[in-house]
């Protein structure tokens, strides 16, 4: 049963969820072409780097050609030269146009850093030629030619450094398993096996190979190990949920009609589809060639990753976490001392939780139970008041007197602001489950693992005392599918009300 069907069934007789609209229909997205949102972010970064290069060029001209006599007047040169500002804007636009033509703004990174730097230098030089052409056509003799040369040189350096730092930072994330893309390969032939090995061996590509799909109506011999074959293309919906698939790469050609049906299904599942270049010329006639490592591919469908919104959410998470930790740090010190004096055991309870896309992370809390609480949990199984996977016992004998107070006002969760700073959690989102819960999940339950877990969410403010596991899943899934900043703001306001009333336990 699909997730949307599950939500409709479980919430048909329930009250509206915090003003959430009905589940949005899948919008029509472009079959080809890079994401405009992520492209705009990269364009903005390059524009800022060129502006920095322009300031550097002004300083270098004052030092090299005027012996620093006019160095204090550099800021005046910048603010009193509107004509120069016009040509700077023209240089920025020229670079963006050329860089876009070279594929430097594709949401899929270029295969190697050397290739990216070469194209960056080439784009700067071409933009410099266009700038010189504009100066010649307008006969602008007042613009310093030395400044133009220094601007081009400074832009090459600043843009190259920016992209190198960005790429190295991304490699570090990939090495830690963060921000990687889960990919499956459609096909089991020799080319499919070679592509799979290439992806698996080079973590810098930013991919995790989840397995292979059997191409429909294919009689070719299978070159990939049997244990890596996930099934046929008919299981794509189930596999997308189970393995959090981001992209399917077609490495073994199937019928064009089948490829079109796959693209339509990818739109609904919100995943990317690319194929080896040359397979579907009629579908990719105007599509630029990209590279997956050393393999040329073309895009059949690309989703909208909501890059700007997610970046803003991350910025808000960091800002609120730092503000909260600064404000409550004295309170946390007092809580730590009281816990230590009240009962034996560590101050913090560290639990392994399942985060975004199944990633395991240590979740920090103040300890609210006796030292051997996990061992005693088995003896309390018959007293569980929640249905399904959830576990809760009123007047739990494992909870200490101090822990009871901390839970009532949700103070035990204050250390999780450190998880937010580490990027493992968000302020608002579904609560992170433990591994034993995830092992019992049905297919539709994995939907809630597609986003970062949060300190608070819809379930915490609307149904925390509800014993229904179906309602728990329905609220979390509704949040995932209808997320917005306004929804986060509503949840934060309602969370403050819950904490003030002391109904957090």
Asked if residue 30 belongs to a domain, the reply is no
Q: Is 0.95 surpassed by the pTM of this model?
A: no
3-state secondary structure 108-121: CCCCCHHHHHHHHH
**E strands, 283-421, where?**
290-292, 295-301, 348-354, 360-366
Same domain, 107 and 250: no
Whether residue 358 lies inside any domain: the answer is: yes
| Residues 52, 104 within the same domain | yes
For residue 11, is it within any domain? no
Give the per-residue pLDDT at 258. Answer: 84
Query: Any idea which residue has 């299978």 for tokens?
Result: 222
How many domains does the chain contain in total? Answer: 3
- Residue 269, pLDDT score: 82
Task: Check whether residue 206 and residue 159 sit in a common domain.
Answer: no
Q: How high is the pLDDT of residue 287?
A: 76
* The pLDDT of residue 372: 67
**Nearest partner of 161 among 52, 264, 254, judged by Cα:** 52
Residue ranges in 70-209 assigned as alpha helix (H): 74-79, 82-101, 113-138, 145-175, 190-201
Instruction: Give the domain range for residue 89.
Output: 36-175
Residue 31 lies in a domain: no
The dihedral built from the CA positions of residue 251, 252, 256 and 261, taken in this order, carries a sign that is negative
pLDDT in tens, the chain (505 residues): 333 333 334 344 444 455 554 444 333 333 333 345 567 778 888 899 999 988 888 888 878 766 544 444 444 444 445 556 788 888 999 999 998 888 787 766 666 778 888 899 999 999 989 888 887 787 776 677 788 888 899 999 999 998 888 888 888 888 877 778 899 999 888 898 899 999 988 888 888 899 998 887 665 567 888 888 888 888 888 888 888 888 999 988 888 888 888 888 888 888 888 988 888 877 777 777 888 888 888 888 887 666 667 778 888 899 999 999 999 999 999 999 998 888 888 888 888 999 888 888 999 999 888 776 665 566 565 555 555 556 566 666 678 888 888 888 888 889 999 999 988 899 999 989 888 888 878 877 888 888 899 998 888 777 666 557 777 788 888 888 788 878 888 888 888 877 777 555 5
In a domain, 19, yes or no: no
Last residue of a domain, one of 160, 175, 190: 175
Q: Which residues of 394-426 are buried (b: 16+ CB within 10 A; e: fewer)?
A: eebebbbebbebbbebbbbbbbbbbbbeebbbb
| Residue 287 covered by a domain | yes
What is the distance between the alpha carbons of residues 442 and 431, in angstroms, rounded to a whole number?
17
- Given this model, what pLDDT does residue 218 score? 63
Q: Using an 8 Å Cβ cutoff, are 353 and 363 in contact? A: yes
Same domain assignment for residues 386 and 473 = yes
Q: Of the residues 252, 275, 303, which one is the last residue of a structural domain?
A: 303
Q: Is 212 helix (H, G, I), strand (E, B) or coil?
A: strand
162 and 266 share one domain: no
In this structure, are 161 and 189 located in the same domain? no
- Is the domain of 288 the same as that of 349? no
Q: Which of 282, 303, 324 is the last residue of a domain?
A: 303
Structure confidence at residue 68 (pLDDT): 46
First to last CA, the chain: 33
Q: Give the domain CATH number at 184.
A: 3.40.50.720
Together in a domain, 349 and 429: yes
Q: CA-to-CA distance for 82 and 19, rounded, in angstroms?
A: 50
Q: What local confidence, expressed as pLDDT, does residue 142 receive?
A: 67
Nearest to 35 by CA among 310, 293, 355, 260: 310
Residues 373, 494: one domain? yes
Under DSSP, the state recorded for 369 is B
171 and 189, same structural domain? no
On whether residue 13 sits in a domain, the answer given is no
User: CB under 8 Å to 327, separation ≥6 — which residues?
Assistant: none
**How far apart are the C-alpha atoms of 277 and 288, rounded to whole Å?**
10
The count of other CB atoms within 10 Å of the CB of residue 152 is: 20
CA distance 417 to 364: 9
Q: What is the pLDDT of residue 1?
A: 38
* 334 and 456 belong to one structural domain: yes
Between CA 228 and CA 213 the distance in angstroms is: 9
Other CB atoms within a 10 A radius of the CB of residue 290 amount to 20
* Residue 463 falls inside a structural domain: yes
172's tokens: 């570090």
Q: Do 202 and 220 fall into the same domain? A: yes
């Amino acid at each position: 049963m699909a997730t949307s069907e599950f939500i409709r069934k479980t919430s048909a007789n329930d009250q509206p969820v915090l003003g959430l609209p009905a589940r949005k229909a899948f919008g029509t997205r472009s079959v080809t072409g890079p994401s405009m949102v992520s492209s705009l972010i990269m364009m903005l970064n390059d524009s800022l780097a060129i502006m920095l290069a322009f300031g550097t060029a002004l300083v270098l001209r004052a030092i090299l050609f005027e012996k620093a006599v006019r160095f204090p007047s550099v800021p005046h040169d910048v603010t009193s030269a509107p004509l120069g500002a016009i040509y700077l804007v023209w240089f920025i636009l020229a670079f963006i146009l050329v860089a876009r033509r070279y594929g430097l703004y594709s949401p899929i990174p270029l295969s190697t850093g050397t290739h990216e730097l070469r194209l960056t230098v080439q784009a700067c030089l071409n933009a410099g030629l266009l700038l010189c052409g504009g100066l010649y056509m307008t006969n602008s003799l007042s613009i310093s030619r030395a400044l133009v040369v220094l601007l081009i040189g400074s832009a090459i350096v600043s843009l190259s450094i920016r992209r190198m730092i960005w790429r190295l930072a991304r490699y570090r994330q990939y090495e830690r398993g963060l921000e990687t893309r889960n990919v499956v390969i459609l096909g089991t032939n020799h080319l499919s096996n070679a592509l799979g090995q290439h992806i698996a061996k080079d973590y810098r590509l930013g991919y995790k190979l989840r397995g292979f799909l059997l191409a429909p109506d294919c009689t070719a011999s299978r070159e990939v190990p049997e244990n890596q074959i996930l099934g046929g293309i008919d299981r794509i919906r189930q596999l997308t949920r189970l393995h959090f698939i981001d992209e399917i790469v077609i490495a073994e050609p199937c019928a064009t009609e089948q490829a079109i049906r796959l693209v339509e299904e990818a739109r609904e599942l919100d995943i990317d589809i690319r194929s080896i270049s040359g397979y579907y010329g009629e579908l990719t006639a105007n599509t630029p060639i990209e590279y997956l490592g050393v393999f040329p591919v073309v895009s059949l469908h690309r989703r909208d990753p909501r890059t700007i919104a997610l970046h803003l959410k991350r910025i808000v998470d960091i800002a609120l976490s730092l503000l909260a930790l600064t404000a409550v740090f004295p309170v946390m010190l007092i809580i730590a001392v009281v816990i230590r004096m009240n009962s034996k055991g560590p101050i913090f309870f560290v639990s392994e939780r399942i985060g975004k896309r199944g990633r395991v992370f240590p979740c920090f809390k103040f300890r609210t139970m006796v030292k051997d609480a996990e061992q005693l949990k088995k003896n309390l199984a018959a007293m569980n008041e929640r249905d399904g996977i959830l576990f809760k016992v009123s007047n739990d004998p494992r909870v200490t007197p101090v822990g009871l107070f901390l839970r009532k006002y949700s103070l035990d969760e204050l250390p999780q602001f450190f998880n937010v700073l580490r990027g493992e959690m968000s302020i608002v989102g579904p609560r992170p489950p433990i591994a034993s819960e995830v092992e019992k999940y049905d297919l539709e339950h994995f939907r809630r693992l597609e986003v970062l877990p949060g300190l608070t969410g819809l379930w915490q403010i609307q149904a925390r005392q509800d014993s229904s596991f179906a309602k728990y899943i329905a609220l979390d899934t509704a949040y995932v599918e209808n997320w917005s900043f306004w929804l986060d703001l509503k949840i934060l306001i309602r969370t403050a009300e819950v904490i003030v009333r002391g109904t957090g336990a």
